[in-house]
Structure 1
Amino acid sequence: MLRGDTEPIQSSQLCSASYLECPASQWFYSCQTPKGTAYESVKCAINFGYRHFDGALVYFNEHEIGQAICEKIADGTVKREEIFYCGKLWNTFHPPELVRPALEKTLKTLQFDYVDLYIIELPLAFKPGDTFYPRDENGKYIYHKADLCATWEALEACKDAGLTKSIGVSNFNRRQLEMILNKPGLKHKPVSNQVECHPYFTQPKLLEYCRQNNIVIVGYSPLGTSRDASWVNLKCPPLLEDPLLVSIGKKHGKSAAQVVLRFNVQRGVVVIPKSFNQKRIKEDFEIFDFSLTEDEMKAIEGLNKNIRFVELLMWSDHPEYPFHDEY
């Protein structure tokens, strides 16, 4: 991962402790975590050595994350420049005039002067307004026609103003990335593209394209997802129960989860595992005292099913739905 476009931040410093999956009737980003959960998890993660936190305004807990980080800075555990925080622009803030106010709201909530990375969460624009998930009287999501390039220019202005060190995207396919990269007058390239990435969905073509363009792949759901049929594709069996991953883990004295994280780290993918369990938070960090062999890496790559857990089918009729393309 990049800090300020130039300074590297190692994937050993990653943690995503900022959201929980929601009940079956809701899209998981819209659900609030239980009060105090994110706060305690972030403090715990910092104590274990994590320095990268992945959050968003729409997770509704940036106040807890900011409080936890500020307290760990105040007690001398870390300095602000040692923390790497990624914030996200939600779908209802794509119009250029709304981008900076959305980021400023995140900064105020976090009690930060800047974030290290600010990304467009999805290439899907929704009707602007106070409702994050606008629907009509029939329950259909209300979309908005927006220009991704104009939204990107507003992010560039936020970077130039010092409100964010770097800017990037999430869930963008190749065509959408090229739209930004080929934009006339481009000032700042996306430094990252946050997408689903794990042994059952290895994203080889997108990963290679991003490597060619010096764009870091940040893998969300690196351990798989919950088994909530309302938003998770259950065609894939649970990732961490895969016999190959379990057997490789036993060989190294590690869990399947640790093998999965190590796999992505070795192939240059930044991982952002999510957990509110202190034991698992600690375990997820303990992946730097072993390496997978070349044969083990190839065997794990062979698990790829090219099927997404996170399909977002409720928005598949959006003109910019990114997953119709091959990659």
Structure 2
Amino acid sequence: LKSAGAPPGWVGVVVDGKGNIVARTVAEQFELGRPASASVREAIAEGSQGSYVGTTLEGAKADSIYKELPGTGGWSVHLGIPTDQLDAPVRRSAIFLASGGAVSLALGLALVWFTARDISQRRVEQEAQAALALRQSEERRRLMVDAADLGVFSWNVSTGEVIASQRALDMLKITKSVATGDVSLPFEMLLTGIDPADRARFERILLQSRKSDTVAAEFRTAPPDGRWLRASGRSSRIDGHNAEVVIGVLLDIDEMKRAEFDRQRLLRRLGDAEENERRRISRELHDQIGQTVTGLLLGLKNLEQSLATTSS
């Protein structure tokens, strides 16, 4: 067994039919003639050859093979390979696979992280571009609204909240402690800037915009100012969920309205003047023609009398 060239740590043993050690490659001088380990004796009892996992006399776990020697009266040869040495390649392979898996997982996580970061950066850039485009669009809208001298407001009918521009508040003479930007206020506060006689009609016409196209209402602001404004409104067209939001635009039409009133007064005065002139002419014609007819009747009467005197 020693000359067979077994690797260090392997244990070879020859056992007689009674399970006693006849020869041993390790510590033979101490074990010769002594009973073999329990695992060896159990293997001998089970058959003439095979394999088993047992424990050496030194206490090491070993995977062993054995075979009975023919013509020896039951002697057998056992060769034990330490389980640690036998499992070492498997462990190395498992460690290598685990390391490779860990490296692959790390690379995968790194790839996912870089991909997520790239997507996040792109999303942030897109959101920044969208926000910039929105601000530019809002700035253009405000510029156009300011240039047109318009007041803008939105009314959420469900909640009663109104978001109005500063120009709209100025036009309605409503004071809010906000320096710039749109202002949120209750709809009832917006109505305070409207003449009490026009408030119900103003609200009714705006509510009609939810079921029709753009509507318009002309009204006066609250006294003592009493300026004429026109409110054009329509329901929100952003999506189907905002049907209860009315978008309104205020336009100052006071000068145009007063010019219209002046024109109507002038037309009435012209009509009255024409009627008076017609009455004067009619009266003068009536008086002149009456006098002429009377004189003619008197002349005919005198002529009749002269003719009667001459004939007699």
Instruction: Tell me which interval the TM-score lies in, with the shorter structure as reference length.
Output: under 0.3
Taking structure 1 as the reference length, the TM-score comes to: 0.17
Taking structure 2 as the reference length, the TM-score comes to: 0.17
Greater relative contact order (CA < 8 Å, ≥ 6 in sequence):
1
Structure ranking higher in helix proportion: 2
Structure ranking higher in strand proportion: 2
Rg bigger for which structure? Answer: 2
